[in-house]
A and B are shown apart, each in its own frame.
Chain A
Amino acid sequence: MKDKEEVKFEENIKELETIINELENGNVDLEESIEKYTKAMKLVAVCDKKLKTIEKQISKIVTDNGIEDFKIEE
């Protein structure tokens, strides 16, 4: 699970675009199309989830003391 989380968002989008281009070109047979479609829908779901869950933006500061959360004094 951790590994999947680590996959970069941009790579997900790129993979998604590649699959869609392949499907749009129409040279893929039905079984493969459905397989690719299923995979693409999973990628969409991952992207959607990431984009639509409002997470707190993470800022860290790296000092000699190690990595700490970084807060800007407003």
Chain B
Amino acid sequence: MENKYLEVTALTRYLKHKFDSDPNLKNVYLKGEISNLKFHTTGHLYFSIKDDNSKINAIMFMTNAKKLLFRPTDGMKVLVTGRISVYEQTGSYQIYIDEMLEDGVGNLYIAFEQLKEKLNKEGLFNKEHKRPIPKIPKRVGVITASTGAAIKDIISTIKRRFPLCETYLFPSLVQGDGAKDDIVKKIALANTFDLDVLIVGRGGGSIEDLWPFNEEIVARAIYNSKIPVVSAVGHEIDFTIADYVADLRAPTPTGAAEMVVPNINDVINHVDQLKIRLNESINKKINYLKLYLDSIKNSFVIKNPLIMYDNKKQKLDLLVEKINKAILLKVENKRKYFDNLKNSYIFKNPDSLYKEDKTILKNILEKLELLNPLSILKRGYTLTYINETIITDIKKININDQIKTKFNNGYIVSQVIGKEENNER
């Protein structure tokens, strides 16, 4: 029987498949101690997790590593969750870590998350509650321990950057049992002073050391402070509830001092700039007005005041001439009109108006005379009536009818005893 020789890649792939398909290896909860920790420039973390007898390689990718709430160090005891798989190039199995907590602080972590969610829901972290931090404060209040690096860093930074600013230290416990109450008390006390901004914080330490800044009463005291609050707790990577609720989060106490006061040289430069702008603006104004005045002084009219009269005079002359012309034209038109009237036929022969009318009237009278029925009677004609109606048709007259015959100068009444119709038509 022939032996089958596998390629390394094929074997490794087979092993990887075995790991990846095992449900127990997909979601592993593991505890141990960090060793051989390397922060890669990509942001990934490479290290081993070991206990007294064994060791496993571990990798935490940047997307997960940046969510870490603490800074891992060699020797630190941790709780991790992740999956086990094979890295084919080296043929080594390793744990790909999704989440990592400091061992022993699990309960604190849960408390932190719960409080954070609660206050967030209440809106304590909302942007609209963030008060602006003054740019150039006159007095800065500091709530931290009176001994230790934090206060030294803050005061020396302010002294270096902007010595005009006064600092008021309200010494407070910043770790241990009494710390939270003391911090709350000092925030209230600081609010009775005329301060522009308040730095609340402490230097670096373990998560337990920083814990007072994760307490609800401290968070609420910061929220209720009338003076804007800058939080400055621990190192850059330490995030506390105080940081979320503060008006501004500083990465460190030194950072807080740098954010709170300006650099005096910048302010001096700014004032110098303002001085330049001020002078330029007033000079511009004066120069503009000067130019304007010059232009007025040099204007033609100011130099030749009589020209104003000349123009007006000329205009007046023109108007007088125009009005004269207009009147003459009107008079001339009227005169022509009257001449025409005077020379008209009617004006010269007023009788003609009547003459014609007289002839017409005569004709009409003659015609009327002709039409007058009574004038017909004068010529010997008569009119015949029955019951006051003129009869023009013989058919309407019957034998024995009484008829009335009208003459020019009277009438007779007679009875019809015979009639003879014409047979024409």
Q: Which residues of A contact B (CB under 8 A)?
A: 8-10, 13, 16-17, 19-20, 23-24, 26, 28, 30, 33-34, 37, 40-41, 44, 47-48, 50-52, 54-63, 67, 70, 72
Contact = CB atoms under 8 A, between A and B. Distances in A.
B278 A54 contact: no
Contacts, number: 102
A33 B282 contact: yes
A51 to B, nearest CB: 5
Nearest to B280: A24
B285 to A, nearest CB: 5
Main secondary structure, interface of B, reads helix
9 contacts: A9-B138, A10-B136, A33-B285, A52-B268, A60-B167, A62-B170, A70-B146, A70-B169, A72-B152
Interface core residue of B152, B168, B171, B190 (most chain A CB under 10 Å): B168
B216 interface: no
A16 B273 CA distance: 11
Contacts of A61: 146, 168-169, 171
Nearest to B193: A62
Given A10-B136, A40-B278, A60-B169, A51 B164 contact: yes
Interface in B276-305: 277-278, 281-282, 284-286, 288-289
B163 A13 contact: no
A24 to B, nearest CB: 5
Contacts of B275: 44
Interface in B101-144: 134-138
B386 interface: no
Interface string B173-189: 00000000000000001
Interface stretch (B91-99, B153-161, B201-209, B333-341): B153-161
B25 interface: no
B271 A59 contact: no
B286 to A, nearest CB: 8
Contact residues on B (Cβ < 8 Å of other chain), bracket: 35 or more
Contacts of A62: 168-171, 189-190, 193
B166 A50 contact: no
Contacts of B259: none
B78 interface: no
A23 B271 contact: no
- Closest 10 pairs (CB-CB, A-B): A23-B281, A10-B136, A57-B163, A58-B166, A57-B159, A37-B282, A61-B169, A59-B167, A24-B281, A47-B271
Contacts of A9: 136, 138, 164
Query: Which of A9, A44, A52 is most buried by chain B, counting CB atoms within 10 A of its CB?
Result: A9
A70 B166 CA distance: 11
| Residue from A8, A19, A28, A62 having most chain B Cβ neighbours under 10 A | A62
Contact of A24 (B156, B163, B171, B277): B277
A16 B169 contact: no
A37 B285 CA distance: 11
Contacts of B274: 13, 16-17, 20, 44
Interface string B329-362: 0000000000000000000000000000000000
B267 interface: yes
Contacts of B164: 9, 50-51, 55, 57
B230 interface: no
Contacts of B138: 8-10
Contact of B168 (A8, A28, A56, A60): A60
A59 B169 contact: yes
A17 B267 CA distance: 13
Give the most central of B136, B267, B278: most A CB within 10 Å.
Answer: B278
